[in-house]
Structure 1
């Protein structure tokens, strides 16, 4: 039973939302960031990059977090941000040139995370967990929701469709040709229908935002200890999420780029691969896998197709059948000496939504010796692994939609 509740969002006024909301901070290059900050006084990037005001970009740690809080207060004082008077759900639709996504922004429970009602598919780094927990503690808000997915549900779909027939609170386009729409759900019967529908759903799955959800849970534990009057209903016991039906997720693969061959020549490396794979040299012909357990490889100026020899590989559980795990078990660890794929300096991950030529160009540049590609993981494979209590290797999935910051803000 999933606990999903309405909340009083802090958000920009209708006339400024297109200027205020931004992509995730990490997406911007320094040049892009400077341009946004210089020419848009309303962008939320001013809040999360507070040193710009003082022409000082190297502020970090708690000093930066406290300045973020101050910039946020200034946005509220200038009426760029206002808080809704009553709790509500927020239906958000993102329309891209190739896809349309529509789900519900809501508050979700840290207890559900601890009780495994909200399940994760990737591990997290302790250092990043603590860093973001400290950020949340000092700023007092979260402006970017965790992406959760749930089984298709007619009751929730009915409410969403009802509001999509109305004028949206927000409707704006961005320079990447995406259109963003948001409706406020504050009718009590509609709120109850949504909450009841989620209460009948056994499991929610984290699609994106593992560190954000874990950090929110750590903060909740910390604030509970500091609050002698803790009841469990405080805002810090929940975190902001965007809940999207499974059939609307888009899942892409991550390519793997390796900086060296662990002392092997290309020919020696191919011989090592022969133990687990049937290898076909495709020359200059771009090869992209069309089946599970098939891999593409670019080495020494040529493409290769790798087909797993199932007689040489032991499938023991659902994780062992995952292509990213197979590549780690048969190649990355034993042949290339990459034991910790989460922190290894020898490996780069890059999502692939294009024609696959990145496998070639990054290696031809001289920065990498070999690259690997595979089929994307599907949602059923992800759920099977998670439900078995297992975690997928890092950078197994690149999941869309990617969400904007500051469409709605959750305070605690």
Structure 2
């Protein structure tokens, strides 16, 4: 089976990734809780507007400045100008302060009885171009262009890109040791869900030298979250270079937070469909039954993020769970032992056989009949959306193994859209990489 194959491509000597220290822009003492915000792409403009109304200091005033300009296109020039103005205001009023010396920043997150530890650093856009920073998703031009214009307007990379690395031995434990004895973080923010996000600046030159040295043993990094933010940074550097302007130094880098791939989590990414096409409930289940073994599941724990399979040896099957007309069904199909890198994925089989084969959804990125719900949402949310009539049915997917994602990226494979929901999700506004 594909999961057992090792597709890791060893990079030639001299082509390892580079990590850099930088002078971060950070909340002034006492400001982190009010400034820290959810990522710009997990809230709608209306949701962002409501958050800003409750907390005008929120970094969403910068990252989702369109929320302050209802009635305008989110791509209007005024939206990017508002982002620039709001970012400048946070700096001028002292709520954000730029560090005096370059550093790296340990980011520790505690949530749901888990602890995640990563490190903020700057990364070279050249490593992205050379595929030493690898990706597993296609980016959409409109989203690329939006973030490219945004970072050009604010002259900063203000949304962290989450990247994974294969730990050659003791890299993670070394990073963790840098904060093990520090009692108080430099900044801390709490989320409504109970998460605790902490930032620790690492300024000791010897520690920074050691981090950089250890990462020189890492041949590749893997984007887990933030494909569009990374590509936007590359786009801006390319445009500056094409215009004959300087594109090296900080503007030729972007901000990432690096985590050991063994110490993050993936949830499944659910699908929601507005209709059954020409099918009735009975004919749809009958057609699905020719492709999968379909069996009633029974009661589902709606508070969970995933639905445990009933089938014996689920690792040998493509498994998904269907919610239709108030009932849950388990759908299982044996995995082809000769399947290729992408055909091993449950979402790829679903797309080919059901969404395209049965329902004619050939564009999973743009078809309005198909929507997605992030994995860190309880199963009960799927039931509510279907029961309310907003959608006709829901499909809850099993999580992909992190090692599988890395192997697909190593093989230059592209996963179907919305295949992975990585945890942890980082807050914006706690560390910013300015190149002004």
Q: TM above 0.5, one fold?
A: yes
Structure 2 match to 1:185? 202
Aligned to 1:2, what secondary structure does the other structure show? Answer: coil
Structure 2 match to 1:43? 58
Q: Contact 2:172–2:260 at 8 Å: present in 1 too?
A: no
Q: Contact 2:179–2:200 at 8 Å: present in 1 too?
A: yes
Closer/same/farther in 2, CA of residues 371 and 138 from structure 1, 3 Å limit = same
Post-superposition Cα deviations, 1:116-136, rounded to whole Å, max 9, x if no partner, equal 111111111111111211121
Matches within 5 A, 1:123-202: 123-152=138-167, 153-166=169-182, 167-202=184-219
Q: How far is 1:355 from its partner?
A: 5.6
Closer/same/farther in 2, CA of residues 265 and 195 from structure 1, 3 Å limit = same
Aligned partners of 1:307 and 1:142: how far apart in 2?
43
Q: Does 1:295 align with 2:312?
A: no
Structure 2 match to 1:57? 70
The TM-score with structure 2 as length reference comes to 0.86
71-80 vs 205-214, greater mean Cα deviation: 71-80
Number of equivalent positions? 406
Q: Contact 1:288–1:374 at 8 Å: present in 2 too?
A: no
Matches within 5 A, 1:136-285: 136-152=151-167, 153-166=169-182, 167-228=184-245, 230=246, 233-282=248-297
Closer/same/farther in 2, CA of residues 201 and 300 from structure 1, 3 Å limit = same
Post-superposition Cα deviations, 1:198-257, rounded to whole Å, max 9, x if no partner, equal 1110111111001111111111101112235x4x64211110001111122111001111
Closer/same/farther in 2, CA of residues 109 and 404 from structure 1, 3 Å limit = same
Aligned partners of 1:355 and 1:155: how far apart in 2?
34
Q: Does 1:333 align with 2:356?
A: yes
Aligned partners of 1:382 and 1:411: how far apart in 2?
31
Q: Contact 2:83–2:150 at 8 Å: present in 1 too?
A: no
Aligned partners of 1:197 and 1:146: how far apart in 2?
20
Closer/same/farther in 2, CA of residues 32 and 263 from structure 1, 3 Å limit = closer
90-99 vs 201-210, greater mean Cα deviation: 90-99
Structure 2 match to 1:385? 408
Post-superposition Cα deviations, 1:168-204, rounded to whole Å, max 9, x if no partner, equal 2123434332222211111111111111111110111
Closer/same/farther in 2, CA of residues 176 and 116 from structure 1, 3 Å limit = same
Structure 2 match to 1:72? 87
Aligned to 1:298, what secondary structure does the other structure show? Answer: strand
Aligned partners of 2:286 and 2:346: how far apart in 1?
21
Q: Contact 2:361–2:367 at 8 Å: present in 1 too?
A: yes
Aligned partners of 1:68 and 1:198: how far apart in 2?
34
Aligned partners of 1:353 and 1:44: how far apart in 2?
22
Aligned to 2:268, what secondary structure does the other structure show? Answer: strand
Aligned partners of 2:136 and 2:113: how far apart in 1?
26
Post-superposition Cα deviations, 1:1-41, rounded to whole Å, max 9, x if no partner, equal 11110011111112212222212234446676445434544
The TM-score with structure 1 as length reference comes to 0.91
Aligned partners of 2:374 and 2:209: how far apart in 1?
39
Aligned partners of 1:171 and 1:143: how far apart in 2?
18
Aligned to 1:320, what secondary structure does the other structure show? Answer: coil
Unaligned runs of 5+ residues in structure 2 are 1-15, 302-306
Aligned to 1:319, what secondary structure does the other structure show? Answer: coil
Q: Contact 2:69–2:79 at 8 Å: present in 1 too?
A: no
Q: How far is 1:284 from its partner?
A: 5.6
Aligned partners of 1:373 and 1:50: how far apart in 2?
33
128-137 vs 148-157, greater mean Cα deviation: 148-157
Structure 1 match to 2:110? 95
146-155 vs 298-307, greater mean Cα deviation: 298-307
Unaligned runs of 5+ residues in structure 1 are none
Q: Contact 1:253–1:396 at 8 Å: present in 2 too?
A: yes
Closer/same/farther in 2, CA of residues 321 and 57 from structure 1, 3 Å limit = same
Closer/same/farther in 2, CA of residues 368 and 38 from structure 1, 3 Å limit = closer
Aligned partners of 2:88 and 2:129: how far apart in 1?
32
Structure 1 match to 2:5? none
Structure 2 match to 1:19? 34
Q: How far is 1:382 from its partner?
A: 0.9
Closer/same/farther in 2, CA of residues 347 and 112 from structure 1, 3 Å limit = same
Q: Contact 1:156–1:197 at 8 Å: present in 2 too?
A: no
RMSD of aligned alpha carbons: 2.3
